Structures are given as structure tokens and as C-alpha cells.
Amino acid sequence: SPFHYAALSIFPEMFDGFWSTGMVRRAIMGGFITGKAVDLRAFAEGVHKVTDDKPYGGGCGMVMKPEPLMKGIAHLQSEMPGAPVIVMTPQGQPFSQSLAEDLAREKGMIMVCGRYEGMDERACIKADMELSIGDYVLTGGELAAMVVMDAVIRLIPGVLGGEDSAEKESFSEGLIEYAHYTRPPVYEGMEVPAVLLSGNHRAIDSWRLETSLKRTFLKRPDLLEDRSFSREERSILQK
């Protein structure tokens, strides 16, 4: 049975392009996943369907009311039993590839998207996890929820096509990707490295690991700080 992804948001239309494009669209059409965005306003009371209110204690901005969030989460939990509730907030745990790998093993995810200055603290207790996508502030959790779902969905078995293409990625190995080339063999005087045209797959693998290590050292030395090296990597670094 498919994995189920749902987002709870006051702007569900933000997800339209996400569900209907590229690999996510293919995952839905192939029956690997289902995806939907649910309007938080549907769980609000009164003619105006208000989802926010002034903060107790004063201050600027608005706070998301707890009742619509609680009702919306309960509704989605009844539809998707066992799916973790993930609250998107800049105060959350930093998202990473290893968290994406963990989340791809769940039955699905209920993504709760905050807006304004944040959510009433009493609605956050429903969260199994609070996630942030980095140390900067977005106007809402929607884009962050799409980032997390995108990273998770592409790891679902069957979605990427080649079963192992997601496992063999550099990031899960703690390095950035090797350099890529395609035709033409010479572009504006710049040649494709000869080893890639050699047909020697051992030499190609070794060259790729070398460029991956070099690029990580030059562009993201922080990734190497508390990482140990395999025998193969050490033999390349000795050269």
C-alpha cells in the first residue's frame, strides 16, 4: 500500500505545483505515494473561519489558534493512522539526509505548517517531531514542508527507479557529489576528463571518489571534521 503524505496549511494551493510536477507526480501516478494539502480554515469556527489571534502578553504579530490545528491534526491522524505528526518551525531540529532516511521508513507524514509568529504552544504537544530546514526565517512552514517531503519521497522504494541510486549518493556517505559531465566531449575548449571516456570502471570509480573528496575539502571542509576515512579513501588521500 502507498505511503501517505499530507500537509495542514492555510495556503494549501502552495502545494499544487509540488504534487503535479516531476518525480513527486510520478510517485503519485505510479501508486507509490498519495499526497494532499488540507485547508486549516476548514477546521476553524464561525463565518470568518479565523485561524489566528493576538498573542497573550502583547507583542507584535499573530499566533495560530490551537483549536483548528488540533482538529485538523486529529482529522488527518484518523485518515492516516501511525503517520508521525511533524510540526514545521524554525525552532525545530535541523533537517538532514539521515532524518530523511529515517522518515522514508514511516508509513507517511502529517506536515503541520505554521504561519505568523508561530503556533499556540498547546497545539505543539501533538507533534512527534519539530523540524526546521535551516537557520533563516521563512514566512511560513509550507516551503519547508515541501523540502522535507521532497527529500523523503525520492527515497521511497520504486520512486527513483534505480533502487540503489538513492543509497549510493554522496551525502549519505558524508561527502558532496563527484563532478559530472555529458556530451559534447569538448565544450568551449574545455575537455571531459579522459578517464570518463576510458571505459575502465574501476578507474572511473576511483576518479569519482577522488573528485568527491577534493570538492568536499574545498567547498565543505566542515563535513570532514568528524568523519573517518575508509581504506579506499585513505589510499586516494596518500597520493
Which residues make up the interface to ligand 6GU (CB under 6 A)? 88-90, 92, 132-134, 136-138, 140-141, 144
Cis omega (within 30 of 0) for bond into 184: yes
Min dist. Cβ of residue 207 to ligand 6GU (A) = 36
**Residue 84's closest CA among 69, 104, 67?**
104
Q: Does 56 count as an annotated binding residue?
A: no
Q: Does 137 count as an annotated binding residue?
A: yes
Q: Does 53 count as an annotated binding residue?
A: no
In the bound state with ligand 6GU, the residue whose beta carbon lies nearer, of 143 and 196, is 143
Min dist. Cβ of residue 222 to ligand 6GU (A) = 19
**Residue 225's closest CA among 214, 235, 236, 216?**
216
Instruction: Give the sign of the dihedral formed by CA 215, CA 219, CA 225, CA 226.
Output: negative
Min dist. Cβ of residue 206 to ligand 6GU (A) = 38
Q: Does 134 count as an annotated binding residue?
A: yes
Please report, for residues 26, 142, 150, 182, 198, the alpha-carbon distance to residue 22 in angstroms, rounded to integers and kept in the order given: 6, 19, 11, 21, 33
Q: Does 73 count as an annotated binding residue?
A: no
Min dist. Cβ of residue 145 to ligand 6GU (A) = 7
In the bound state with ligand 6GU, the residue whose beta carbon lies nearer, of 95 and 178, is 95
Residues 174, 169: Cα–Cα separation, whole Å: 9
In the bound state with ligand 6GU, the residue whose beta carbon lies nearer, of 69 and 144, is 144
Strand ranges (E), the chain: 3-9, 33-39, 52-53, 63-64, 85-94, 108-113, 129-132, 186-187, 190-191
In the bound state with ligand 6GU, the residue whose beta carbon lies nearer, of 7 and 133, is 133
**Where is the binding site, in residues?**
114, 133-138
**Where is the binding site for S-adenosyl-L-methionine, in residues?**
114, 133-138
